[in-house]
Amino acid sequence: MYTGEKIRILREKYKITQYELSKKTNLTQSQVSKIEKGKRRITDVDLKEIAKALHVTIQELLEQEVI
C-alpha cells in the first residue's frame, strides 16, 4: 500500500472529503486527489500537514500496514 492510498483510507474513515482535507492543508482538492491516486509526489511539508489534519503521525502514514 502506498502513502496516497493510506491517506484516502484514513480520510474516508474519518468521513472527510477531499475538499475538506484541502482546506485543512495548503493543497487544492485536485492535488489531494492526485496524491491519493499516486499521480503526484508528496512533499515533506504536504505529509506533515496531511498527518496533522488526519490526526495521525507521519510515521503512521508511511507504515506499510493498514491503520
User: Domain range holding 24?
Assistant: 3-62
The position carrying cell 489531494 is: 32
Q: What backbone phi and psi angles, to 5 degrees, belong to 46?
A: -60, -45
Is 43 a member of any domain?
yes
User: pTM for the full model?
Assistant: 0.88
Is 28 a member of any domain?
yes
- Give pLDDT, residue 63: 84
Q: Tell me the pLDDT tens digit for each residue of 22-58.
A: 999 999 999 999 999 999 999 999 999 999 999 999 9
CATH number for the domain that contains residue 43 = 1.10.260.40
Residue 21 neighbours by CB under 8 Å, 6+ apart: 11, 27, 32, 50, 53, 54
Look at residues 47, 3, 5 and name the one whose alpha carbon lies nearest to residue 26. 47
